[in-house]
Amino acid sequence: MPTSIAPAVFKNYINGEWVESRGGKMIEDRNPADTSELLGLFPASSEVDVAFAVDAAKAAFPKWRLTPAPKRAEILFRAAEILIERKDEYAVLMTREMGKVLPETRGDVQEAIDMTYLMAGEGRRQFGQTTPSELPNKFAMSVRTPVGVAGLITPWNFPMAIPSWKAMPALICGNTVVLKPAEDTPFSTYNLTQVLEEAGLPAGVLNVVFGEGPGAGSPLLTNPDVNLISFTGSTEVGRIVSQACAPTFKKCHLEMGGKNIIIVMDDANLDLAIEGAIWGGFGTTGQRCTAASRVAVHKKVYREFVEKFVARAKKLRVGDGLEPTTDMGPCINEQQLKTVMRYVEIGKDEGAKLATGGNRLDKGDYAKGWFHEPTVFTDCDPAMRISQEEIFGPVVALIPFETFDDAISIANGVNYGLSASIYTRNVNNAFRAQRDLETGIVYVNAPTIGAETHLPFGGTKNTGNGHRESGVAALDFYSDWKTVYIDYSDRLQRAQIDNTAG
């Protein structure tokens, strides 16, 4: 007699306990490579749940703020050790949850490990400044102080790495956290939360509310007891986040879209550039804010590059990310797949040449997933929409150019400024590129993806609002500077009034 197994049901994590959502509604977490696989049911949280979580974070803040930073660091260090032990387990589940191939999900967990270790180290390195005063018998210094309750809203494409990018610096600086992960990938955040709980994070210091943007994200933005917001997602939603934070002057960090470029000069190692462009364009199915969705190639090598690049793209094997032969997994959901398909039609209508791909894969092994072919357009104009707008899928536009200056102009001629790359053997052009490219990240002889956790991550223009993730730069967002003057002169000193020449 056939039987059915009830799906696992998960809860929010608030004040150190796993608690049911007040509304009782749930969201399905399904495998994008096989939508018949239901991984679990997660809460569709509401404003009431968010308020409960914020209250817990606010109540925990005074004690956590006064916990010495090196003691906070010990907890993070233990969390990193646990993540190492469970790396493969969590990677497999992440591939089932969001689709990217297993080597990439192992890398996602490794980023969380790296960031957690890095921020554990910052527990003893939150340095300020000490400086001579302009007046006698007076001491001057600056120290970091926590901001308060941090509201973190994270995307689905790096479901453990990006929550760690935000949560670990927030925690080491002495803030308490309310985290709202993407509704498509709640399981990876659940795993990260379990690790922090086991590592000894006190109740209320980290709180997690699962759910969709309107139900759980929006109330986090407007709650008056949330002191800062860090958001990673689209530029369109980022604008809404910024506007929601403005009335109460919440500290706001936005990490948004990208339309990144690889420049291939005529003196480049062409085979290396092709491999880099394949990885940059189709890694994570193109679903990265740093994806190389544009490749500008010098006309002297353009035809050779096109021939080899298209041939290489045709060989990419699309399928379930758990299969060792798979090079590229599915899109995250039906909506994202339809966006990719719409941009393919836009490219055709604009007159770009479709060299390979362009179709949804929905037969045989692909029937239950959200798969799309690796797609390459050639002879693209820099002004085309497929050369200007973020697609967030496996679509690459190849653009010919004549001179180095043309390439830089093409690269900078978009509304985004996250990452750029140049392949060249000319050291002069390499240095000119890193100076003149209007992006927060520049690679030389490497693709536009591959950021390391100890350096700042972020961009310019419509990519961000000036703050940075990762490295010591992250501490600047999750802490406030306090300047301290200690006058031991035993008399009134009036700074510039008494500090006069002659």
Question: Rounded to the nearest 5°, which phi and psi values hold at 260?
Answer: -85, 155
252 is known as an active-site residue? no
Q: What are phi and psi of 17, to 5 degrees?
A: -135, 150
- The rounded Cα 437 to chain-centroid distance in angstroms is 21
CA distances to 30, 33, 51, 222, 230 from 99, rounded to whole Å, are: 10, 6, 32, 33, 25
Please state, in angstroms and rounded to a whole number, the distance separating the CA atoms of residues 308 and 314. 10
Q: Which of 289, 331, 380, 390 is flagged as catalytic?
A: 289
Q: What is the β-pairing status of strands 294-298 and 261-264? A: parallel
User: How far apart, in whole angstroms, are the C-alpha atoms of residue 441 and residue 345?
Assistant: 31
**Helix boundaries (H) for 351-392:** 385-388
Kindly report the backbone phi and psi dihedral angles of residue 276, in degrees, each rounded to the nearest multiple of 5, phi listed first. Answer: -65, -40
CB 126 within 8 A of CB 144: yes
Measured at the alpha carbon of residue 487, what is the angle toward residues 483 and 490, in degrees to the nearest 5? 160
Query: How many CB atoms within 10 Å of residue 198?
Result: 11
Task: Please give the structure tokens belonging to residue 159.
Answer: 């479901």
Q: Where does residue 495 fall: left (phi above 0), alpha (psi -120 to 50 degrees), or beta otherwise?
A: left
Instruction: Say if residues 172 and 24 touch (Cβ distance below 8 Å).
Output: no
Q: How far apart are CA 440 and CA 52, in angstroms?
A: 37
The H or E element that residue 278 is part of is: helix 270-282
* Farthest-apart Cα atoms in the chain, separation: 100
289 belongs to the catalytic site: yes
The catalytic residue positions are: 255, 289
